[in-house]
Every structure is written in structure tokens, then in C-alpha cells.
Amino acid sequence: DKLVHRGDSSSSRETTGDIRRGMDCADLKQAIIDHINFTQARLVSQATLNDWYMAVAYAVRDRMLDDWHVSLGHLRNRSLKIVSYLSAEFLMGPHLGNNLVNLGIVESVRRAVAELGQNLDDLLRQEEEPGLGNGGLGRLAACYLDSLATLRVPAIGYGIRYEFGIFDQEIRDGWQVEITDKWLRMGNPWEICRPDISYLVKLGGHTEQYSDENDCLRVRWVPGKVIKGVAYDTPVAGYCSGVTDLLRLWKSEAVESFNFQAFNLGDYYRAVDEKVSSETISKVLYPNDEPQIGKQLRLAQQYFFVSCSLQDMLRIQRLRGENIGDLAGSFAVQLNDTHPSIAVAELMRLLVDEQMMEWEPAWEITCNVMAYTNHTLLPEALEKWPLPLFSAMLPRHLEIIFEINRRFLDQVRSASPGDDGLAARLSIIDEGGERYVRMAHLASVGSHAINGVAALHTELLKETVLKDFHDLYPERFHNVTNGVTPRRWVLLSNPALARLISGKIGEGWVTRPEELRALEKFAGQPAFQKSWRKVKLENKSILAAVIRERTGIQVDPASLFDVLVKRIHEYKRQHLKVLHIITLFNRIKADPKSEVRSRTFIFGGKAAPGYHMAKLIIKLITSVGEVVNNDPDVAGRLKVVFFPDFNVTNGQLVYPAADLSEQISTAGKEASGTGNMKFSLNGALTIGTLDGANVEIRQEVGEENFFLFGHTAAEVQELKSRGYDPRSWYEGNAPLRAVIDRIAAGDFSPGDRNLFQPLVDQLLGHDDYLLLADYQAYMDCQDRVDAAFRDRDAWTEMSILNVARMGMFSSDRAIREYCENIWHAPPIPGD
Ligand code: T68
């Protein structure tokens, strides 16, 4: 295989091979020109910036294919287990820069492009990122693919090729406006359509019983509709690992024969309608981060990609020449939250109805193959589907789920006789009122492993949402604290810092980030500190220029860059940060000469389009910015920026430029957080609560290098159970009162005292996320931040120590844990 694809010496290669594979400057240049001429079909003299970007992208992709073919060959190696990562979202970010980094050809391509009269940075900016995810969950999937390939683990990421990804955000008159994300408009050079890899997916209809040739009673699903899923493949290169894994996304299409012949013969317009409705399935990503929305199309999307993916695994199993009964030896399927959890019922259907297997062995295979990651404790975010909707779309799956549930509850009842409450709590079907299918229960019953994404989160999972499952199956529970890839999040996004670090301790940290510890001994060294500060200042200047260009706001790179970027949600408490800003504003207004440190507050993040309070929080941020930024008494000491359209591309600009990372969610609400890791890896200090992975970050970097505040998760529980009364906190704290009164009085919404009333009412009436209870602790902690920032050297030392001690938050560590404890998937043996 290897010999056929790879010339082992340049002499055995033909010229075209060099154009497609060669890494020296002349080969690269020729390859790029070839793609301008023959792929873009342009004369070089006529080529647009986009043509240049496309040509470079194709030239780079060509250079990924040798490794890719070898890696795809490994999928047929029976001694290797394939990790099948099922996720409704993959937030990959722009490919070109990352592929250059992972292939180790940034500089050679930069030079080739320059010799052709182009600038690589301009070409990198030309790429429209594939925004096929909402936030943390989708980005985690992308970091994990990077680590899987880097660690040489055979893996396929399975998901949906949304035609429209997460919307682009614009800010108009201070409000969020959503713009359709037409990311495929200019073509996508990274994907390869595989029309020959496609599967039929049934929907709706009814089921029938029949007797097979052995007189066994079987079930047949007669669908109301059939659609087709077509594979689109994107190569995912590991960092200098020689392995390139596969991201396989499904696009839905109409099944011509089905529409034209069986049903709509002669009815041309009906057939076209069918085509349109079939294509709708993979049309758009649902932009909700967390709160569940019971949309029929969403369930169809989930089932669609899960069914295609499982059918694809069965095909690969056959290609390997293995029995379907040995599926668990070939595949480890990871369910990224409950979005793909219909896989439990679908695999049972494929095995029992289509492979004619008996129930028990099919169930054993299913449980051995599946593992489930939970990403949230918020009750309103747990997926559940109304029974009528579910049975109309997936009638056979509902029968299967009833059977799974019947057998499961029989076991529960025989283990705990008489405890009807227990059975009702564990049941996959929620019967308390309107009936629902509880997807977290389906995933938990049908998986051999269940994991949370940070130590605290896993503990809370075991104590609350999945307590009864933990009592029943304690051995299934694991914690795998999230991680992020240091390739994209340091090497690519912060090249100056990467160079500084590598100059001191070598490059090993990129794959062995525990080696960053070697920086500790330089943390107090003045010359190193000076270089460190210089890098940060440069990154801040770059961001400042972009802020100026996109918002018109001028910010001072010497000021403290205080950054809060993540999806907008009340539990993440962006509005607590606003209370801090108004507090400082009030101090200045009370005494314009009062000593307030110069700070730039940078916010970024999208609000779900239907989440009114989140959108109002954006309006509050921009409105407070209007007033504060233009107040003569403030005199530029405080600047508030809402950076529009926070996404991976913009994140790469923002994280390296931060001094202070805001991780201020109500304790117990943020499952893990991953932005917190990206900031700290780039030398920002964290101000945060004991929530999610903050707890472990603080442990690692040392409590003296972390600004901690706020009630703990246990104290939050305690406060709420005692009957939390936000108004008493408001009344008992004069500065807090002044801040809220200013908002209520319309000081930030001239002429409209009602604008922020819903927000004020929520805070004074309910304050579900305890902003008022944490307010004073947050202000005090921010005053400590100010004091610390005054001592430049001490601050720099803390910054260096943060980076030096963040090794455990590499996604490589997380993937090793999944491989060892959950998947039992070894890497491909080294070359
Ligand atoms: C996030 N969840 C967690 N959900 O909030 C975050 N949800 O704490 C954690 O670090 C991260 O997952 C990775 O584990 C999400 O990002 C979603 O995006 C989402 C999307 C659709 C439906 C529900």
C-alpha cells in the first residue's frame, strides 16, 4: 500500500508527483500555479485573492493525501480499534493555518507564496471558517480529533455537513443581528465528496410484524419517507505524527427512485418538493447552546447522521472481513452528549431487524460499543422528546426503546423490589404528565461508560442528574477533564509566545506539554519577563487594531485587557461583569480623581436568537459602553468593547491578547469550560469561581496565581434551599444598589426606562444565578487584580507560572485517558 502511493526516493517519482507531493519551494510554487490554472481555471494574471487561497489550500491538501491513504488503510487493520466520535457539532475553525502547522510547512509555504507575490497572512484571512458548532461542545470535538490524529489513534469523526453553520453576528444599534452563515458560497477545498459512500435513512411510517423463513416473528419498518445521506470527507492531520484521521460529515439528499417511481410517478412538482424537503435535514445548525428546543427537524437531524454513521461502521466491519458480532472489538463509539444517543436504539434496530440477530447478543454489543459524555447539569438542557413526536418520526425506535426499558426496569425492580419511585426515576420514559423519551437515560442504559467533563462536574453528575444510575452502575462512571489542543491554541494563534517558549525549553512542549514546567525556573528572571511582556503587548496591539477596525473604538494596549468571551448565557453571568464596570464608573463619577486602573473590557459571544434575556445582556453591554467610553470624567480609563461575531478565528486573536480571563459562572453550572484553558495557556491570569475545570486549573497553577471569588457549589445549594432573597442583598449593599438603580433609572438607555426592566426584575425578583450574592466578593477580588497588575514583574511571573503549569489541560492528555479507560484503543504502532 505504502509503496504504491509513496515514491521512496525522488528519482522514482514523476514530475507530477513532485508537484503534488514535493515540499521544497519550487515544488510548492509549481503546485500552487497548477491549481490556479487547472483547478480554479484562471490565468495567474487574472487570479483573485480567493483563487490564491483556494490554490494554496488544494496544494496543501494534496500533501496530506499520502498519510491519509495510509491511515485509511489502517481502518482495515483488524488489530486496530477505530474510535468513532459521534457529534452533532464539529467546530473545526479555519483549516489552512492549522494544517500548515501540523504538517510543519508554515515557513516553506510562506516563502513559496511570497515568491509568487502573495502574502500568506492575507490568504489565511480569506478562509471562511466552517462554523459547524455552537461553542464548547463542538470545539471540544475538534480539539479531540486533532489529538487523536496526533496520538496516532485511528478515528472517524461523524457528524452533519450543515449547509448553514452557526449564524454570523452583527451588532446594530447595540443589538445582536443574526446573518445566515453561507460558508460554502466560495467552495470548500478541504472536503471530498464521496457519492459512492451513501446510505438510505428511513423516517416516519409504521411497523409490521412478519414471520421469517425460520418462522421467527420479526418486525419490518415501512417508512413514510426515505432520504439519502452522502459522505463528505475532510482529512484531519496530526501534528507531525504521520497519521491523518477522517472527519466524515453527512449531507442529506433526495432518493430519486423513491420519489419519482414508487410514489410520485408523473407528479413532477411533488417530486421536486420531496427533493427540497429531503435536503432540509442537513440545511442548518440549530443555534441553541443548551436549553432544549423540541423541534421535529432537530430529531430528524440527529437520527439522520447517526443512522448513516452506524451503517458506515457496519460497512467498514465487513471490509475488515470481520463478523458483525465482533463490532465491539473494532469500534468504540463515543456519544458527544445526548445528541447522537438515538444510536443506542438504531444499532439495536440494525442488528436485530436487519442483521437478524437475537436481542441479547445485540444488546451486549450495543452496550460494549457505546460510551456517553455528559456536558451539562442544567435541567432545562437535558434532551427529552415528546412521545407523539418521537413515534411519528421513529416508530420502530420507540418500540425498541420500550423493550430496552422493559428489560431494564425488570432488572431494577428485581434488585430493589417495591421501590416504584426508583423505577419511575430511572425509566427512559418520563411518565409524570405528558410522556417523554429521556435521552440521557437512554444513553446511560445503553453505554458501558458515562463521563463528566471536569472533576466537579462528574461529582455533581453522580450526586444529582444521574444519581440513581450511579447507585445502580457505579463502575460505569468516569471523569475525563476536558483539554484543548496546544497546536491551534498556542502554536498557531500565538506564534510569538510559542517562539519565545521554544527558544528557552525546546519544542517538545507541543506534544509533551508537561515540559512547560521547565519555564518555572525562568519565571522570576527579569530578561525573560521582559520578553514575555513584549509578546503580550504585541498581541494586545494586534487586537487593538482589529477592535478599532471593527468597532471604531480606540483602546490602549497598555491598559489591562480584561476579557470575557463565550456564549451569552445568564449562568455564565456576563451581566455580573457589567455590574463591575458600572461600579468602577460610579466610583469615577463620585470622585473623578479617584484612582481607577486603566482597563479595557472586552466581551464577545453569540446569544441564541430566541433567548431574549441573553440578547438584552448584549444590549446592556453595548449601552454601558456607549456611556462609559464617552464620559469625559472617565477620560479613557475605562473602555468597554463588544467584539462582534466571536468564533474560532476571532478567538485566535483574542486569547493571546488577554491579561485577565473572566470565568465567573455560578458555581455548579458550568460543566467544564475550555476557554478558561485557552486563556491560561496564553498567559492570562484567571478571575473565577470554583466551577467546572476552574477548580483544577487553580490546583495546577497554584492558588497564589489565580483570583478566586464567590460561593462554592455547595454554598449555592445551601443558599437556595434556605430561600434565597436577592432583594435583601441589594438592600444591604450601597454600591450594588447604586449600580442597579442606575440601570433601572435608564442611565444607559436614554429615553427608555423600560428597556432593561426585565433584567432588573430578574435580578431583584429571582436572581437564579446569584449575581447579587457574589457581587461583593467579585468587586473585592477585582480590586486585588488591580493591585496585582500594578506590580508588573510579579504579574508577569504569575503569567509565566500559569503557562508553565497548564500541561494537564492539553487535549492529548484527555484523549489518552479516553483511550485507556473508556475506548481501550491503542495507537497505530510507530513507523
Ligand atoms: C459545553 N456545552 C459546556 N453545549 O457548557 C462547557 N448544547 O462547560 C463545556 O466545557 C463544553 O460543553 C465542552 O465539554 C456546550 O457547548 C452546546 O454547545 C450545545 C449545543 C446544542 C445543544 C446543547
Distance 376 CA to ligand 1 centre (A): 7
pLDDT recorded at residue 1: 32
225 is catalytic: no
Whose cell is 507531525? That residue is 240
Distance 133 CA to ligand 1 centre (A): 10
Catalytic residue among 674, 686, 689, 796: 674
673 close to ligand 1 (CB < 6 Angstrom): yes
**pLDDT at 831 exceeding the cut of 70:** no
166, 647 Cβ separation under 8 angstroms: yes
503 lies in the same domain as 478: no
- Burial of residue 590 (CB within 10 Å: 0-12, 13-18, 19+) is exposed
602 lies in the same domain as 704: yes
Catalytic residue among 572, 577, 606, 615: 572
670 close to ligand 1 (CB < 6 Angstrom): yes
453 close to ligand 1 (CB < 6 Angstrom): yes
Rounded CA-CA distance 436/438 in Å is: 6
- The protein residue with its alpha carbon nearest to ligand 1, atom 21, reads 289
Most informative mutation of 143, 285, 373, 375 for ligand 1 (most atoms within 8 A of CB): 375
**pLDDT at 766 exceeding the cut of 80:** yes
Most informative mutation of 284, 285, 289, 383 for ligand 1 (most atoms within 8 A of CB): 289
Residues of the chain with pLDDT > 70, as a percent, come to: 97
Rounded CA-CA distance 608/583 in Å is: 28
- The protein residue with its alpha carbon nearest to ligand 1, atom 17, reads 289
646 lies in the same domain as 625: yes
Domain residue limits at 57: 1-77+95-127
- The protein residue with its alpha carbon nearest to ligand 1, atom 15, reads 137
Q: Can you tell me the mean pLDDT for 631-637?
A: 96
Task: Give the pLDDT band (50/70/90) at residue 274.
Answer: confident
* pLDDT tens digits along 88-118: 999 999 999 999 999 999 999 999 999 999 9
Distance 462 CA to ligand 1 centre (A): 19
Q: Is 328 inside a domain boundary?
A: yes
692 close to ligand 1 (CB < 6 Angstrom): yes
**pLDDT at 16 exceeding the cut of 60:** no
Q: Can you tell me the mean pLDDT for 69-98?
A: 96
Rounded CA-CA distance 210/187 in Å is: 48
| DSSP category for residue 448 | S
* pLDDT tens digits along 330-348: 999 999 999 999 999 999 9
84 close to ligand 1 (CB < 6 Angstrom): no
Task: Give the pLDDT band (50/70/90) at residue 74.
Answer: very high
Other Cβ atoms less than 10 A from the Cβ of 137: the count is 25
168, 130 Cβ separation under 8 angstroms: no
Q: Can you tell me the mean pLDDT for 742-752?
A: 94
pLDDT recorded at residue 257: 60
- The protein residue with its alpha carbon nearest to ligand 1, atom 12, reads 137
286 lies in the same domain as 326: yes
379 lies in the same domain as 434: yes
- The protein residue with its alpha carbon nearest to ligand 1, atom 6, reads 673
484 close to ligand 1 (CB < 6 Angstrom): no
120 lies in the same domain as 201: no
Task: Give the pLDDT band (50/70/90) at residue 261.
Answer: low
Q: Is 830 inside a domain boundary?
A: no
750 or 289, which is more confident: 750
Distance 822 CA to ligand 1 centre (A): 21
- The protein residue with its alpha carbon nearest to ligand 1, atom 10, reads 673
pLDDT recorded at residue 7: 39
What is the atom index within ligand 1 of the atom nearest the CA of 693?
A: 10
Q: What's the Cα-to-Cα distance from 444 to each of 9, 325, 478, 766, rounded to whole Å?
A: 52, 22, 12, 33
Q: Can you tell me the mean pLDDT for 574-590?
A: 98
Task: Give the pLDDT band (50/70/90) at residue 19.
Answer: confident
Q: Is 118 inside a domain boundary?
A: yes
What is the atom index within ligand 1 of the atom nearest the CA of 453?
A: 14
Rounded CA-CA distance 292/827 in Å is: 37
Distance 708 CA to ligand 1 centre (A): 23
316 close to ligand 1 (CB < 6 Angstrom): no
**pLDDT at 559 exceeding the cut of 50:** yes
3-state secondary structure of 457: helix
pLDDT recorded at residue 5: 35
340 close to ligand 1 (CB < 6 Angstrom): no
566 is catalytic: yes
Averaged pLDDT of the chain: 95
688 close to ligand 1 (CB < 6 Angstrom): no
Catalytic residue among 536, 566, 639, 698: 566
Domain CATH for 655 = 3.40.50.2000
Q: What is the ipTM of this complex?
A: 0.99
Residues of the chain with pLDDT > 90, as a percent, come to: 93
99 close to ligand 1 (CB < 6 Angstrom): no
pLDDT recorded at residue 264: 54
* pLDDT tens digits along 293-333: 889 999 999 999 999 999 999 999 999 999 999 999 999 99
271 lies in the same domain as 301: yes
84 lies in the same domain as 111: no
What is the atom index within ligand 1 of the atom nearest the CA of 133?
A: 18
Catalytic residue among 448, 567, 573, 669: 567
185 is catalytic: no
pLDDT recorded at residue 814: 98
> Which three-class secondary structure string do you get for 774-819?
HHHHHHHHHHHHHHHHHCHHHHHHHHHHHHHCCHHHEHHHHHHHHH
Rounded CA-CA distance 345/519 in Å is: 50
* pLDDT tens digits along 593-608: 999 999 999 999 999 9
* Angle at which helices 526-551 and 495-505 cross, to 10°: 170
What is the atom index within ligand 1 of the atom nearest the CA of 671?
A: 8
Task: Give the pLDDT band (50/70/90) at residue 3.
Answer: very low
572 is catalytic: yes
Distance 510 CA to ligand 1 centre (A): 26
What is the atom index within ligand 1 of the atom nearest the CA of 692?
A: 8
501 lies in the same domain as 472: no
Catalytic residue among 161, 678, 698, 805: 678
52 lies in the same domain as 137: no
Spatial neighbors of 356 by CB under 8 A, at least 6 apart, are: 212, 218
434 lies in the same domain as 501: no
| DSSP category for residue 132 | B
Q: Is 625 inside a domain boundary?
A: yes
Catalytic residue among 375, 476, 669, 742: 375
What is the atom index within ligand 1 of the atom nearest the CA of 286?
A: 21
* pLDDT tens digits along 641-650: 999 999 999 9
* Angle at which helices 734-744 and 574-590 cross, to 10°: 100
In total, how many domains does the chain have? 3
482 close to ligand 1 (CB < 6 Angstrom): yes
**pLDDT at 4 exceeding the cut of 90:** no
Q: Is 831 inside a domain boundary?
A: no
Q: Can you tell me the mean pLDDT for 549-567?
A: 98
Measured torsion, CA atoms of residues 274, 278, 279, 284, in degrees rounded to the nearest 10:
130
Q: Is 828 inside a domain boundary?
A: no
451 close to ligand 1 (CB < 6 Angstrom): no
pTM: 0.97
**pLDDT at 259 exceeding the cut of 90:** no
* pLDDT tens digits along 164-216: 999 999 999 999 999 999 999 999 999 999 999 999 999 999 999 999 998 99
Distance 454 CA to ligand 1 centre (A): 13
Q: Is 540 inside a domain boundary?
A: yes
**pLDDT at 679 exceeding the cut of 90:** yes
483 close to ligand 1 (CB < 6 Angstrom): no
- Burial of residue 321 (CB within 10 Å: 0-12, 13-18, 19+) is exposed
Q: Is 557 inside a domain boundary?
A: yes
> Do the strands 599-604 and 449-452 form a parallel or antiparallel pair, or are they unpaired?
unpaired
678 is catalytic: yes
229, 198 Cβ separation under 8 angstroms: yes
456 lies in the same domain as 510: no
478 is catalytic: no
628, 638 Cβ separation under 8 angstroms: yes
